[in-house]
Amino acid sequence: MAARRPEVDAVLIGVGLVGTLLGRELTRAGLKVVGLERGEARDTVPDFQGPQVHDELRYAVRKALMSDNAKETLTFRHTSRGTALPVRRWESFLPGSGLGGSIVHWNGQTFRFQEDDFRQRSRLIERYGSKFIPADVTIQDWGVTAAELEPHFDRFEYLLGTSGKAGNLQGKKIPGGNIFEDPRSREYPTPPQKEPYGSAIFRKAADNLGYHTYPQPSCNLSQPYTNPEGLSLKTCTFCGFCERFGCEHFAKSTPLTVLLPVLLKDPNFELRTGCNVLRINLDGARKTATGVTYAGPNGEEVEQPASLVIVGMYAQNNARMLLLSGIGAPYDPATGKGVVGRNYAYQTMSYPQVFFDESININPFMRSGANGTMISDFAGDNFDHGPLGFIGGAYIGEIMTNGRPIGFHPTPPGTPRWGSAWKKAVARHYNHTSTINVHGSSVATRHNYLDLDPTYKDAWGLPLLRMTFDFPENDLRMSAYCTEKAVEIGRSMGGRLVTGAPRKRPYDMTEYQTTHNTGGTIMGTDPSTSVVNRYLQSWDVSNVFVIGASNFPQNGSYNPTDTVGALAYWSADAIVRKYLKSPGPLVPR
Amino acid sequence: MAATAVVVPGCERPPPQAANPRPPYLFFNAEDAAFVEAAVARLIPADDAGPGALEAEVPAYIDRQLAGAWGAGGRMYRSGPWLAGTPEQGYQLPFTPAELFKNSLRAIAADVGKSNRGKLSKLEPQEQDAYLRSLENEPRDLGGVPSDVFFQLLLDMTVEGFFADPVYGGNKDMVGWKLVGFPGAYANYYEFVDQHGIRFTRPPMSLGQDAGGTVHLHPVSSPPAAAKGR
Ligand SMILES: Cc1cc2nc3c(=O)[nH]c(=O)nc-3n(C[C@H](O)[C@H](O)[C@H](O)COP(=O)(O)OP(=O)(O)OC[C@H]3O[C@@H](n4cnc5c(N)ncnc54)[C@H](O)[C@@H]3O)c2cc1C
Ligand code: SF4
């Protein structure tokens, strides 16, 4: 029988980004909170110190900070007719494990989703008519507006110290920032990072073509900053070891640098690492959670009773936890009924490259995780989709994060894969090539979803999550259009050769795109098409809140984390100001 | 006190060899090593662009990786059922990297032997290339391993060993980094990132150097005033 620990007010499943934010808000409200994190305890000192942290093989290739596939992975197939097989090593996306979560090894590219993301279905119908949305595309409104989230975006960005330049201050458009963005209440907490060479070349080319360039908003800080929690960040040194690595310099905003040192000192908070939560426990009527059961560091089962359960385990894991615990009806692709696992979406990337003359030293190794120059002219609904026949878009930018040579050694098409000719081409092009990012959205469809695998199990004997996904037709058309625009900019950057192919089917689990997986526990206003209400509270079990990119009904053109953080604060605010006063559903079913 | 050489009768040994040019292998037997050394020398050859994978001691890198936790399938999901799947579903063979190498190398030894021309290392460079290309492009069974899967792993590990930090046993003298101009484990380019197009000529740095020390970094092509004359 499982050992039973004394009841607490709230339990956090996962102490990553979401867990840390909620832990801080709930302890501040006076609750006793236990945070259960499956991975290790870690901190900048002594775990991410130089020079050892600058090890491409260990961190980028062997993926030391990612979750251990031997313990838990997921299975994958393209369609519901196929047999899903386990992802035996992470390649396409890289979920993390350990205190602070995946965001410890993120890049820091920090964007707000926009009003036309939050009201995507309504907006498209208003602008183009209801026939515009393909029949199998299941995009939805989120049930929350950009204006409602603005204060939470603002708060999250000031916690992180985000470096950037506003393009819309309280409705006033500011050239040099992203003029397409929704109004923000104040400037970014810190100015943009320095502009590297390749980005400067992109800026000139894109400006000449009449686009609206701006510096990428970044959580690699441009200058020292002390956040409202009293924690200080330092200036990013452009070390080139950002994504997939911890930052030795205290320059990257992560829970370890912006919040955990404060939370861990709070007597209302108790952290337990090495604790893998197995399920959320429900009462007899299955309407209330009584707490969770986890496997402790030695494998022993422990029951942790709690009045409130926060699920913040990263997108796919959130969906899996609900499925394992029997909370909410699982989605059935045959009937379209059920909600948990529905509307899984990803990201639709392409990467044109500009090969320059040998006199142009791009110096790809002098980069941070999030610095580049970009345009949003083709993001979201910032351009007229009417004649184009697809939904969504992409931001386009010269955004290079590193020049680590195992992973980065570009060669022009036609170069042999090995031998002297390969070696000469690598030497010739390494320092003279720029990569353009076409960071594309991903619509939800009927066919892409998550459920439990019938065959494969994790190290605790529980079914793995099964992912059924392929790129929707709509997104291939979007990628073709936006990639062509990027290649045009590339051509006017003055390179000798520009390459660039749009995203194609089939989706390849062996190629990294992004770790921006969305959906599975989506938010909304209708319990028959969403898992959580607009406050991220489970429709079925009202003392369970599920928070993360799993809430996104579909994926937008931008990176998700700013929006995840804003949603976490939005939900925490509803819990503290409404739910705690009168526990129960915040929105009637 | 002056050191005196004490010689125990019967235990005279030849003095240790002045400099063993190659580190000892942990995983490969002599035959494995001969194949891998010959193969990597073709995948990244020494040529007028500089040293190749053999000179970079890439075989030592591959050997240590296979002998260690990664070679044993560490952090890899290893439960069956084992089904072939599509290429987009990723690696689905039941072999650890070490098993995959051993099976393949054993089968290759028999395979190359069959052709009556002996070992890969004995062939002319063009014949070596032709043999490697046949593994890559005309897949055949190597003890349960499709030869193109083995070839891809060999190629990936060769590139890794050529460009990974020298502490892993390859990239000797940082020849891989020098070839492309990657500076290695430095931590700070704040002063240089907006000096657009600067040529960075400082020798690369390995994790094995300056551990824990602060790296003060100046490009040799434009030393700051204070550093001149030192
Ligand atoms: C390589 C990489 C680069 C990225 N770059 C960017 C970027 O530039 N911009 C951007 O916007 N986003 C980026 N992201 C995405 C970003 O990291 C995530 O959006 C963010 O971390 C999500 O926060 P979360 O709290 O939902 O999940 P996480 O931060 O992953 O936290 C979840 C935590 O839950 C724990 N957990 C999971 N299961 C259990 C269990 N059963 N029991 C106990 N604990 C459990 C995990 O170990 C983890 O610590 C990147 C991600 C990766 C991997
Ligand atoms: S690029 Fe900047 S923020 Fe990223 S790890 Fe290096 S110093 Fe830190």
Q: How far apart are CA B109 and CA A335, in angstroms?
A: 56
Catalytic (active site) residue A516:
yes
The predicted pLDDT at position B20 comes to 56
- Note whether B177 contacts A235, CB cutoff 8 Å: no
Q: Quick one: which ligand is closest to A517's CA?
A: 1
Count of H helices and E strands in chain A? 12, 23
| Contacts with A248 from chain B: Cβ below 8 Å | 187
pLDDT digits (tens, 9 = 90+) for A138-158: 999 999 999 999 999 999 999
Across chain B, mean pLDDT equals 87
Q: Quick one: which ligand is closest to A370's CA?
A: 1
Is residue A558 within 8 Å of residue A393, measured between CB atoms?
no
The predicted pLDDT at position A500 comes to 96
Query: How large is the average pLDDT for residues A96-114?
Result: 98
Across chain A, mean pLDDT equals 98
Q: Which of A56, A360, A423 sits opposite B164 (nearest CB)?
A: A56
- Note whether A239 contacts B90, CB cutoff 8 Å: no
First to last CA, chain A: 36
Task: Tell me the best of A153, A259, A515 to mutate to test the pocket of ligand 1, counting ligand atoms within 8 Å of each CB and taking the most.
Answer: A515
Q: How far is the CA of A95 from the centre of ligand 1 (A)?
A: 6
Q: Which of B132, B189, B199 sits opposite A361 (nearest CB)?
A: B199
**pLDDT class for B210, splitting at 50, 70, 90?**
low
Query: How large is the average pLDDT for residues A205-224?
Result: 98
- Note whether B187 contacts A239, CB cutoff 8 Å: yes
The verdict on B178 touching A (C-beta cutoff 8 Å) is no
Query: How large is the average pLDDT for residues A291-313?
Result: 98
- The two structure tokens encoding residue A246: 């911890």
* Residue B102 CB contacts under 8 Å (≥ 6 apart), including other chains: B32
pLDDT digits (tens, 9 = 90+) for A114-140: 999 999 999 999 999 999 999 999 999
Q: Quick one: which ligand is closest to A296's CA?
A: 1
Q: How far apart are CA A466 and CA A77, in angstroms?
A: 8
Position A410 pLDDT exceeds 90: yes
Q: How far is the CA of A247 from the centre of ligand 2 (A)?
A: 5
Which of A125, A18, A180 lies closest to A558, judged by CA? A180
Query: Which domains are seen in chain A, by residue range?
Result: 3-579 (3.50.50.60)
* Residue A378 CB contacts under 8 Å (≥ 6 apart), including other chains: A393, A394, A395, A396, A481, A482, A485
At A245, give phi and psi (nearest 5°).
-125, 155
Count of H helices and E strands in chain B? 6, 2
- Residue nearest to ligand 2 atom 4, measured at CA: A242
Q: Could you give the angle at the alpha carbon of A420 between the alpha carbons of A414 and A421, nearest 5°? A: 20
Is residue A318 within 8 Å of residue A521, measured between CB atoms?
yes
Optimal mutation site among A85, A400, A508, interface B, most CBs of chain B within 10 A: A85
Q: Which amino acid is it at A442?
A: S
Which of A462, A461, A547 lies closest to A15, judged by CA? A547
Q: Which of B91, B176, B205 sits opposite A88 (nearest CB)?
A: B91
Max intra-chain CA distance, chain A? 72
Q: Which of B88, B181, B207 sits opposite A51 (nearest CB)?
A: B207
pLDDT digits (tens, 9 = 90+) for A510-549: 999 999 999 999 999 999 999 999 999 999 999 999 999 9
The alpha helices in chain B, defined as continuous H runs, are 30-43, 58-67, 97-114, 125-137, 147-163, 175-180
To which residue do tokens 């990119």 refer? A549
Is residue A118 within 8 Å of residue A144, measured between CB atoms?
yes
The predicted pLDDT at position B118 comes to 75
Query: How large is the average pLDDT for residues B103-132?
Result: 88
The verdict on A423 touching B (C-beta cutoff 8 Å) is yes
Q: Which atom of ligand 1 is nearest to the CA of A39?
A: 47
What is the three-class DSSP state of A436? strand
- Residue nearest to ligand 1 atom 23, measured at CA: A17
| Contacts with B180 from chain A: Cβ below 8 Å | 405, 409, 426-427, 430-431
Assembly ipTM: 0.96
Optimal mutation site among A423, A433, A458, A505, interface B, most CBs of chain B within 10 A: A423
| Contacts with B211 from chain A: Cβ below 8 Å | 51-52
Q: Quick one: which ligand is closest to A244's CA?
A: 1
- The two structure tokens encoding residue A451: 């459920």
* Residue A291 CB contacts under 8 Å (≥ 6 apart), including other chains: A7, A11, A280, A281, A303, A304, A305, A306, A309
DSSP-derived letter for residue A77 is E
To which residue do tokens 């104040």 refer? A186
Model confidence, pTM = 0.95
The alpha helices in B1-96, defined as continuous H runs, are 30-43, 58-67
- The two structure tokens encoding residue A95: 């979920």
Q: How far is the CA of A239 from the centre of ligand 2 (A)?
A: 6
Q: How far is the CA of A226 from the centre of ligand 2 (A)?
A: 17
- The two structure tokens encoding residue A153: 């975006």
Distance of CA B119 to the CA centre of its chain: 21
- The two structure tokens encoding residue A2: 């499982």
Is residue A141 within 8 Å of residue A524, measured between CB atoms?
yes
* Tally of CA atoms within 13 A in the half-sphere of A328 that contains its CB: 36
Q: Is the CB of A35 under 6 A from ligand 1?
A: no
Q: How far is the CA of A578 from the centre of ligand 1 (A)?
A: 27
Give strand ranges (E) for A246-288: 269-273, 276-282
Selected residues 62-91 of chain A with any CB under 8 Å from a CB in chain B: 62-63, 68-70, 73, 76-78, 83, 85-89, 91
Task: Label the pairing between strands A33-37 and A269-273.
Answer: parallel
Which chain A residue has its CA at the smallest distance from B161's CA? A406
- Note whether A238 contacts B188, CB cutoff 8 Å: yes
The predicted pLDDT at position B227 comes to 36
Q: Which of A61, A85, A248 sits opposite B85 (nearest CB)?
A: A85
A581 Cα to chain B: minimum distance (Å): 45
B144 Cα to chain A: minimum distance (Å): 19
Q: Which amino acid is it at B95?
A: F
Looking at per-residue confidence, does A305 or B20 come out higher? Answer: A305
- Note whether A235 contacts B190, CB cutoff 8 Å: yes
B79 Cα to chain A: minimum distance (Å): 8
Q: How far apart are CA A130 and CA A133, in angstroms?
A: 6
- Residue nearest to ligand 1 atom 27, measured at CA: A314
pLDDT digits (tens, 9 = 90+) for B33-80: 999 999 999 999 999 999 999 999 999 999 999 999 999 999 999 999
The predicted pLDDT at position B19 comes to 56
The verdict on B139 touching A (C-beta cutoff 8 Å) is no
pLDDT digits (tens, 9 = 90+) for A246-273: 999 999 999 999 999 999 999 999 999 9
